[in-house]
């Protein structure tokens, strides 16, 4: 974990006091509704269909056991006993009372948590690879750089009233697990030909109603120049981003209308003025942040354990879990264990207070007191000794947290949809449950292999449908819920936007359409090694389209 020092803590405490005062003045009629809205959004508070919704920040997805316990406490004390993990590594509560939100924020502050800038037209939570620090394929741990960026962005006075929200994600691997290319800024930590550490900067990616893949505007930015360069990008955006139309206000539109090359020139010109100023990092700034992260002492004899392999051999249910939910850790003898929040019949990303506490206990006993929230709405115990994985699995299974489906079709991403969200046109949770019902055979799911279905209840795209291998978008047609389907999207290093199959499909037929898409893939694929995405890119839309809209097919 990053451990707050007294200054980090003081800032969060002062923010709680500030918001308490703002809430009191609002309730006393001293702040107009629309202005309080802007203030509460910057503290994570929305007003949703049934009640306020509070979005709590989990910077780069990292959580300590005591924080998980506090999230459980908030769920019980202020909500209906559960929370919902989002696609940006945050957690949302759907039933808090406006008057009590300052108390929730004070409780969160007591464990170094907050809801600062989780909404509103400002710089949002900094996200990263959920496997940061434990992945075998990473260049360096990106989290200290995320934390530096978090501190720079927190209450940044110049960038609190941007044209639109602004999302920054970091990746330090060649396998992008943070969907960086669909962020306003995607930062890839890289080394140049001389072996120096730095960043490749992508700008102007985004989802929503005009999805776009980010443009590379700087191939190599030296390590110490991170914040001055980000400041230059934000200053250009704050000055020139469109404010006349909310749907054209994201930086992606500015980059598109200006042209990426011209936009890059403007950033470079601004950066030239500030790069050697106060924002230039010193090596000791980076060292300080690194020193505030806990070091984990790995046991050198962990790999000598033989029980892990023995359990895999003797217990087929455990073997299934290991196959899908356990990945290699960079240290020998340790494993990365995925906690699935996608049980059959459940709501993707939902977790109860009791489950949060179980994960907290397991993290404390077996994973250095840390867990991670993933962009796919699951949790990870990142550093479990292989001898303990069996015990962890047994405990997870008891609480319905061990569904062996990570990366499979039923591990789908889904926004809250019409069930909770006031923006939604259509339900998404019910559709995900219908799809789950159709694909209830684990053997068949394994056979289909790696595939991402992503679903959003409206074109704002919180469920990232445009970058799903199969994307499903809820639309309203004359008061009825219909669904547009896209194929071939990807959030990885080969990021791409999905292509539409054709007319929208009715609520009654959408699960059938998914089943048909899968059956075409199973027939067309050259081997089990050809993934859905590879297959789609090879054969194209035609066979899928023909089957989905065949005569006996779905109503469209």
Partner 1 sequence: MSTLIRNGQIQANDALELADDASDQGQQKIIVSLARWTRERETLAGPQRQVAVRVPNTVAIDDAWPLLKDCALIVLEFPSFGDGRAYSQARVLRGRFGYAGEIRATGQAVVRDQLLGMHRVGINSFVLRADQDPQTCLRALADFDLAYQESSDDLPLVRRLRASQHAAG
Least spacing, CB of residue 105 vs partner 1, in Å: 15
Helices (H), 315-414: 316-325, 353-366, 389-398
Between CA 507 and CA 291 the distance in angstroms is 52
Least spacing, CB of residue 242 vs partner 1, in Å: 11
Q: Which lies closer to partner 1 via its Cβ, residue 49 or residue 156?
A: 156
**Do 317 and 324 touch, CB atoms closer than 8 A?**
no
C-alpha neighbours within 13 Å on the C-beta side of residue 73: 15
Between CA 95 and CA 54 the distance in angstroms is 8
Q: What is the dihedral of CA 406, 409, 410, 416, to 10 degrees?
A: 100
Q: Tell me the sheet residues that pair with 471.
A: 454, 486
By C-alpha distance, which of 30, 45, 111 is closest to 78? 45
By C-alpha distance, which of 481, 483, 456, 482 is closest to 468? 456
Q: Which lies closer to partner 1 via its Cβ, residue 38 or residue 331?
A: 38
By C-alpha distance, which of 44, 55, 264, 238 is closest to 157? 238
Chain Cα centroid distance, residue 171: 13
CA angle 236, 240, 241 (to 5 degrees): 100
Q: Which lies closer to partner 1 via its Cβ, residue 43 or residue 486?
A: 43
CA separation, residue 387 to residues 298, 302, 318, 382, 413 (Å)? 13, 8, 13, 14, 31
Q: Which lies closer to partner 1 via its Cβ, residue 27 or residue 310?
A: 27
Q: Which lies closer to partner 1 via its Cβ, residue 276 or residue 328?
A: 276
Q: Which lies closer to partner 1 via its Cβ, residue 119 or residue 501?
A: 119
Q: Which lies closer to partner 1 via its Cβ, residue 8 or residue 107?
A: 8
Q: Tell me the sheet residues that pair with 293.
A: 2
Q: Which lies closer to partner 1 via its Cβ, residue 44 or residue 498?
A: 44
Q: Which lies closer to partner 1 via its Cβ, residue 15 or residue 248?
A: 15
Q: Residue 468 in 3-state DSSP? A: coil
Question: In what helix (H) or strand (E) does residue 326 lie, and over which residues does it extend?
Answer: strand 326-328
- Which residues bind to partner 1, rule: CB under 8 A? 5, 7-8, 10-11, 14-15, 17-18, 22, 30-31, 34-35, 38-39, 121, 151-152, 154-162, 235, 238-239, 243, 273-274, 277-279, 285, 288
Strand order in the sheet with 91-93: 45-47, 52-56, 91-93, 82-85, 350-352
Q: Tokens for 42?
A: 């910057």
Least spacing, CB of residue 512 vs partner 1, in Å: 45
State the burial class of residue 414 (Cβ atoms within 10 Å of its Cβ: 0-12, 13-18, 19+): buried
Least spacing, CB of residue 556 vs partner 1, in Å: 40
Q: Which lies closer to partner 1 via its Cβ, residue 272 or residue 319?
A: 272
**Do 53 and 41 touch, CB atoms closer than 8 A?**
no
Q: Which lies closer to partner 1 via its Cβ, residue 15 or residue 329?
A: 15
Between CA 216 and CA 226 the distance in angstroms is 15
Q: Residue 481 in 3-state DSSP? A: strand
Least spacing, CB of residue 50 vs partner 1, in Å: 26
Least spacing, CB of residue 10 vs partner 1, in Å: 6
Pairing of β 470-477 and β 453-456: parallel
Least spacing, CB of residue 17 vs partner 1, in Å: 8
Least spacing, CB of residue 44 vs partner 1, in Å: 16
Least spacing, CB of residue 513 vs partner 1, in Å: 41
Q: Which lies closer to partner 1 via its Cβ, residue 47 or residue 395?
A: 47
Least spacing, CB of residue 160 vs partner 1, in Å: 6
Between CA 204 and CA 236 the distance in angstroms is 13
Residue 101: other Cβ atoms inside 10 A: 23
């Amino acid at each position: 974990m990053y451990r707050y020092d007294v200054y980090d803590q003081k800032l969060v405490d002062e923010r709680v006091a500030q918001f308490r005062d703002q809430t009191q003045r609002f309730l006393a009629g001293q702040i107009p509704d629309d202005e309080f809205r802007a203030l509460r959004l910057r503290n994570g508070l929305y007003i949703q269909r049934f009640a306020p919704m509070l979005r709590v920040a989990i910077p780069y997805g990292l959580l300590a056991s005591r924080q998980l316990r506090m999230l459980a406490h908030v769920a019980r004390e202020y909500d209906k006993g559960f929370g919902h993990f989002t696609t940006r590594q945050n957690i949302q509560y759907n039933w808090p009372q406006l008057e009590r939100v300052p108390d929730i924020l004070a409780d969160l502050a007591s464990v170094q948590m907050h809801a600062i800038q989780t909404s509103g037209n400002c710089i949002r939570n900094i996200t990263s690879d959920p496997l940061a620090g434990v992945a075998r394929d990473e260049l360096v741990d990106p989290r200290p750089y995320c934390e530096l960026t978090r501190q720079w962005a927190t209450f940044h006075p110049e960038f609190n009233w941007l044209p639109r929200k602004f999302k920054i994600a970091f990746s330090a691997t060649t396998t992008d697990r943070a969907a960086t290319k669909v962020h306003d800024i995607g930062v890839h930590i890289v080394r140049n030909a001389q072996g120096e550490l730095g960043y490749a900067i992508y700008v102007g990616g985004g989802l929503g109603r005009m999805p776009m893949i980010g443009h590379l505007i700087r191939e190599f930015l030296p390590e110490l120049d991170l914040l001055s360069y980000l400041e230059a990008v934000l200053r250009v955006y704050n000055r020139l981003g469109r404010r006349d139309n909310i749907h054209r206000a994201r930086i992606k539109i500015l980059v598109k209308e200006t042209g990426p090359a011209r936009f890059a020139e403007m950033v470079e010109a601004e950066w030239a003025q500030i790069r050697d100023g106060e924002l230039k990092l010193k090596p000791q700034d980076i060292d300080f942040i690194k020193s505030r992260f806990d070091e984990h002492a790995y046991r050198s004899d962990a790999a000598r354990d033989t029980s892990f392999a023995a359990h895999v051999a003797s217990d087929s249910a455990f073997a299934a879990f290991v196959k899908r939910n356990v990945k290699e850790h960079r240290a020998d003898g340790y494993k990365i264990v995925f906690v699935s929040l996608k049980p059959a019949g459940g709501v993707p990303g939902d977790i109860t207070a009791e489950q949060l506490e179980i994960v907290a206990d397991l993290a404390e006993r077996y994973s250095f007191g840390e867990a991670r929230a993933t962009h796919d709405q699951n949790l990870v115990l990142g550093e479990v000794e292989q001898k303990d994985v069996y015990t962890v699995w047994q405990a997870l299974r008891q609480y319905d947290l061990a569904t062996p489906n990570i990366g499979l079709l039923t591990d789908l991403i889904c926004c809250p949809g019409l069930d909770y969200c006031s923006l939604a046109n259509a339900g998404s949770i019910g559709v995900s449950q219908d799809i789950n019902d159709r694909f209830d055979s684990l053997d068949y799911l394994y056979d289909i292999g790696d595939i991402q279905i992503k679903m959003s209840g409206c074109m704002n795209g919180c469920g990232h449908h445009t970058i799903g291998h199969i994307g499903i978008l809820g639309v309203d047609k004359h008061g009825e819920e219909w669904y547009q389907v896209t194929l071939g999207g990807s959030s990885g290093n080969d990021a791409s936007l999905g292509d539409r199959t054709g007319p929208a499909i009715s609520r009654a037929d959408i699960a059938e359409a998914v089943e048909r898409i899968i059956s075409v893939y199973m027939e067309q694929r050259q081997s089990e090694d050809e993934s859905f995405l590879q297959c789609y890119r090879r054969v194209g839309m035609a066979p899928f389209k023909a089957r989905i809209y065949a005569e006996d097919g779905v109503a469209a």
